[in-house]
Amino acid sequence: MHKLPFRIGYVFILLFTCMFVHCKKESYPVPTAINDAYVVLLHGLRQSSGSMEKIEESLLDHGYSVSNVNYPSTDHTIQYLASVTLHDILEPIRKQSPAKIHFVTHSMGGIIVRYYLTNHDLPNLGRVVMISPPNQGSELVDLLKDQAVLRRIYGPAAAQLSLDEGSLVQNLGPVDFELGVIAGSRSLNPIYSALLPGPDDGVVTVESMKVQGMSDFIVLPLSHGFIMRNENTIAQTIYFLEHGVFLKENHE
């Protein structure tokens, strides 16, 4: 891939940044209520727990205990975020011995969970829902990876989402847990979509969201930055947590 001039690359990164929300100061909330199942929410790169609040509210209404994690997505590698940050978050939850620990993630949050579950045991693992995850990497990362500004704005984890064969995301392998993937197919960024092959959500292609071993997969006509706030997405998420499949007649 040809290297873009610095100024052009910087414009692309600014456009990329506009798709996301700044991460708030990190905190690791652990709810005190204990129900039969716990749900851990992980937001995407350069976002915050605020982006997952609508899902959190719905899960609480359905009787789940929820930890909506606010983690420093731009400060560390995926390995660190999984093996240190997520591990520290899970320890107090595991001590409460819930029947199941489910995960609901958006974007890069799904890759953090995949890395964690590949390298750590979680005996009471429940089900996992990934919303717009770059399971096979991101073409946009490859487009911008030679720009120094990418690392300064998005941190070391962004480059690990490359399509290159040697990248972290390419070497995670198939999943061996109950996983439902919700993909978006509507873009609010025609410039990026013109650069992405096939249907996409403005950041990740539908095809790149798939992963070998997933239990179910649906496509909703929603964009990357808003899909996790959509009522249909939330309804499908809760249905998968409860049944292990998506409610197919509700998706387009």
Domains of the chain: 6-16+29-241 (3.40.50.1820)
Mean pLDDT of 87-110: 93
| Segment among 26-40, 79-93, 153-167, 199-213 with least mean pLDDT | 26-40
Question: Is pLDDT larger for residue 189 or for residue 88?
Answer: 88
Q: pLDDT at residue 145 above 70?
A: no
Please report which confidence band the pLDDT of residue 1 belongs to, taking 50, 70 and 90 as the band edges. very low
pLDDT of res. 227: 97
Mean pLDDT of 120-124: 93
Q: pLDDT tens digits, residue range 205-221?
A: 999 999 999 999 999 99
| Segment among 74-88, 103-117, 187-201 with least mean pLDDT | 187-201
pLDDT of res. 147: 65
Nearest in space to 142 (alpha carbons), one of 196, 99, 185: 196
Please report which confidence band the pLDDT of residue 20 belongs to, taking 50, 70 and 90 as the band edges. very low
pLDDT of res. 193: 77
Bridge partners (DSSP) listed for residue 31: none
Helix (H), strand (E), coil (C) string for 217-241: EEEECCCCCCHHHCHHHHHHHHHHH
Q: pLDDT at residue 141 above 80?
A: yes
| One-character DSSP codes across the chain | -PPPPHHHHHHHHHHHHTTS-PPPSPB----S---SEEEEEE--TT--GGGGHHHHHHHHHTT-EEEEEB--TTTS-HHHIIIIIIHHHHHHHHHT--SEEEEEEETHHHHHHHHHHHHS--TTEEEEEEES--TT--HHHHHHTT-HHHHHHH-HHHHTT--STTSTGGGS----S-EEEEEE---S-HHHHHHSSSSBSSSSBTGGG--TT-SEEEEES--TTTGGG-HHHHHHHHHHHHHSS--GGG--
What is the bridge-based pairing of β-strands 100-106 and 216-220? Answer: unpaired
Q: Considering the entire predicted model, what is its pTM?
A: 0.84
| Segment among 23-32, 50-59, 125-134, 183-192 with least mean pLDDT | 23-32
Q: pLDDT tens digits, residue range 58-91?
A: 999 999 999 999 999 999 999 999 999 999 999 9
Please report which confidence band the pLDDT of residue 16 belongs to, taking 50, 70 and 90 as the band edges. very low
Mean pLDDT of 124-133: 97
Nearest in space to 21 (alpha carbons), one of 196, 209, 226, 202: 226
Count of alpha carbons within 13 Å of 211, Cβ hemisphere only? 32
**Two tokens, residue 110:** 């799904």
Mean pLDDT of 104-119: 97
Mean pLDDT of the chain: 85
Question: Is pLDDT larger for residue 189 or for residue 223?
Answer: 223
Contacts of 107 (CB under 8 A, 6+ apart): 43, 44, 45, 47, 131, 132, 133, 134, 203, 204, 224
Q: pLDDT at residue 26 above 90?
A: no
